[in-house]
Structure 1
Amino acid sequence: MYFLLAAIFSLQVWLPEVARCQDVPAGITQSLMVLIQEETTIRHRLEQDLAKLAQDMTELNNLQNNVTCGCPGRHPPVAFSAVLTHDIASLGTQQQVPFDKVITNLGNAYDNRHGEFRAPYDGTYEFSVSLYMRAARWAGLEIMRDGQAVSKVRTGDNSQYSMAGTTVTLELKAGQDIWVQHIAESDSNAIDGAMFPTFSGHLIQM
């Protein structure tokens, strides 16, 4: 379109010069003047089309921002879920529990080697943990934020298998760590695995 405008502009410059030549017949001069007028009309329409195109592009960009949130520095989702696959027979007081099998780890913020989640962004997060115990013993776990317990769960029964869970919503700063550990109040140093105990979390909003 820009090449067409350049060509029309060149024609607009050249035609009057030709029309002013004394030896150009009157009929040709008249035809050239008609062409100049048509060029002016076409150029005006093209300018209107370009303005409309610019407006359409602005509207499309606004629509794209609305669809994709349009948030400055928008980040990918953060969510993880991990399970404990094996029994732990000798769990120390306040020992960290490594939920070893990762089911989901969007954003790669969960480290299954240590069972820790590190917040990649400032925001509101939700975490949950579940605990499974065989009959005749009970134990407890607590969700920790930088060394401070923020939620606890315990379960046990003299004659039945039992399971319990807890969920907590937290405001975190980027770099803060969340993990699960054995509570001091447990009367058992063992917890059962078999993928029953779970540790999950996700970013709710920034």
Structure 2
Amino acid sequence: MNLAPVNLAPVNLAPVNLTSLNAAGASGAALRLSPLPQTSLAASSYHRAMRTALALLLVLAASPALAESSCSDLIERVRAATGAEVAERNADFARFDAGPQTSLTLSCAGDQSSVGAQYKGETVPPEYDALFVKAGHAVTGIAPDRLREAARQAREGAQAKRHSTVDVDGARVTCAFMRKEPGALTQCAVLQRPST
């Protein structure tokens, strides 16, 4: 999205002399508004504040469009890397169908975006690791072998204590294993951590 530069020319708004307004209203005379004398410093400060406020409004108005564009880029990268089909999406989230009993979820949050892979079952198939690594690499840029090893460690930890995390290259891989009524669920996610 290209935003054209905005030329913010000073606006000459004169403050109203409230003493004249009150006196005219009390005497029943016609209201006559007289501007207060302005100093160049006060006018300059006022104009600077107005330009700053307008610039902030323009940035805030553009933010949702930029966020949606950024999320669309991430969705496309995950789709291209994994071959998974987008099943659901909105401005900052997408869910992908990625094969039998397998799905991906993407949460777009700038430098704190995350992607996860869910498998409905206790023992994940070999394709699960490849899918998770491709999606994680597409979102974080972390080397696939580093992601694969972190996911293996986190999944082994989750088998023993239901939930486990492993830090890798400025991100966190977290895996969880749950037994639910319809069956077991294994899920792993890689979450980017903000740079400090």
Q: TM-score range by the shorter chain?
A: 0.3 to 0.5
Quick check: which one's helix share is greater?
2
* TM value normalised by structure 1: 0.32
Quick check: which one's strand share is greater?
1
Which structure's CA Rg is the greater one?
1
* TM value normalised by structure 2: 0.33
Q: Which has the bigger relative contact order, CA under 8 A and spacing at least 6? A: 1
